[in-house]
Amino acid sequence: MRSEPVVTLTRLVKRYGSKTAVDGLDLEASAGVTAVLGPNGAGKTTTVETCEGYRKPDAGTVRVLGLDPVKQAAQLRPRIGVMLQSGGVYSGARADEMLCHIAKLHAHPLDVDALIERLGLGSCGRTTYRRLSGGQQQRLALALAVVGRPELVFLDEPTAGLDPQARRATWELVRELRADGVSVVLTTHHMDEAEQLADDVAIIDAGKVIAQGSPEQLCKGGAENTLRFSGRPGLDVASLLKALPMDTLAAELTPGSYRVTGTVDPQLLATVTSWCAQHGVMPDRIAVERHTLEDVFLELTGKELRG
């Protein structure tokens, strides 16, 4: 039985003067991890800030855990965690003071010392926020968002500016939150992050959701899998086609470079390598290529996803 959505946006509109940032957006986020992708100016951050109650919609309805984040903010805020792209922390406060203060506002917070250790903040606990590096500020903002054991966490670019080690630690924390039953809505400009973490991906462009589904569903809906191999130029492609399944295509793209498209599975790979062996062909390179989330994004938006 499918659980009730943790976030429901219906015909959401948000304008800034004459500019429409979000234009009739419909979005549902269920339990688990939902990643929101989009090019710069697509409306991602505005959408998330509206869910958090920081922006009042100009039209449409917003429900977070079944509540209106503006009219029922007092009921909602103890149940959610928020990590903003920037701000939200007093610049003169020490990292450990701020984290302990937020923890005390909740009935059953996470262990502060363990969280500090987990996110690599142990060496900067007594440093004021404004003196922390950008990566340290980012990790502290993540800790502040999750320390209260919320039911739902909003993470806006949670790994922006982090080194690879800190990025992996953040991924593991998100996975642990999910395993503990915490739902996560995150924006990211890292495609591999969305593929690794998300149960569901929503792609936003020009203030609308233009595609939504699991990473597997979105990638399956694009180009078929492709097998490429290199060999001597002028191989008998017609002979190769006869050995392959009916719905498969094969072509020599450039001299010595061959592409096989269709349902690429272990049997197809075995057929191609067997045909090469029978015809005395030693492939210089053979690789299975799959449609990626980045491929889907570029096809749908025609734009790069930049931080």
What domains does the chain contain, in order, with CATH numbers?
A: 7-220 (3.40.50.300), 226-288 (3.30.70)
**Among 234-243, 257-266, 273-282, which stretch is predicted with the lowest mean pLDDT?**
257-266
CA neighbours closer than 13 Å in the CB half-sphere of residue 119:
31
pLDDT computed for residue 290 by the predictor:
75
Beta bridge pairs of residue 20: 15
pLDDT computed for residue 48 by the predictor:
95
pLDDT at 2 over 80: no
The residue ranking higher by pLDDT, 303 or 146, is: 146
Question: In the structure encoding, which two tokens stand for residue 303, read together?
Answer: 């734009």
Residues 6+ apart with CB under 8 A from 118: 169, 173
Q: Which amino acid is at 297?
A: F
**Among 70-74, 87-91, 121-125, 202-206, which stretch is predicted with the lowest mean pLDDT?**
87-91
Question: 186, 174 in Cβ contact below 8 A?
Answer: yes
Tell me the pLDDT band of 1, cut-offs 50, 70 and 90: very low
d(CA 1, CA 217): 20
Give 213-236 pLDDT, tens digit per residue: 999 888 875 445 789 999 999 999
pLDDT computed for residue 305 by the predictor:
56
d(CA 169, CA 172): 5
Residues 6+ apart with CB under 8 A from 47: 9, 12, 14, 22, 25, 27, 36, 204
Helical segments of 108-151, H only: 112-118, 134-146
Q: Which helix (H) or strand (E) holds 209?
A: strand 208-213
d(CA 51, CA 76): 11
The strand pair at 257-261 and 200-205 is best described as: unpaired
Tell me the pLDDT band of 125, cut-offs 50, 70 and 90: confident
Measured CA to CA in angstroms, residue 63 lies from 9, 76, 236 at distances of 7, 10, 60
Tell me the pLDDT band of 298, cut-offs 50, 70 and 90: confident
Average pLDDT of the residues in 20-44: 95
DSSP line for 159-183: TTT--HHHHHHHHHHHHHHHHTT-E
pLDDT at 184 over 80: yes
The values of phi and psi at residue 250, to 5°, are -140, 145
pLDDT at 296 over 50: yes
Query: Of the candidates 182, 173, 164, which has an alpha carbon nearest to the alpha carbon of residue 117?
Result: 173
Torsion of CA 113, 101, 123, 177, to 10 degrees: 50
Average pLDDT of the residues in 16-34: 96
Average pLDDT of the residues in 128-148: 92
Residues 6+ apart with CB under 8 A from 45: 85, 156, 187
Mean pLDDT of the chain: 91
pLDDT computed for residue 224 by the predictor:
56
Maximum distance among all Cα pairs of the chain, rounded to whole angstroms: 73
What pTM was computed for the model?
0.79
The residue ranking higher by pLDDT, 91 or 67, is: 67
d(CA 150, CA 137): 20
Query: Of the candidates 295, 304, 302, 297, which has an alpha carbon nearest to the alpha carbon of residue 40?
Result: 304
Question: In the structure encoding, which two tokens stand for residue 125, read together?
Answer: 């606990």
pLDDT computed for residue 123 by the predictor:
87
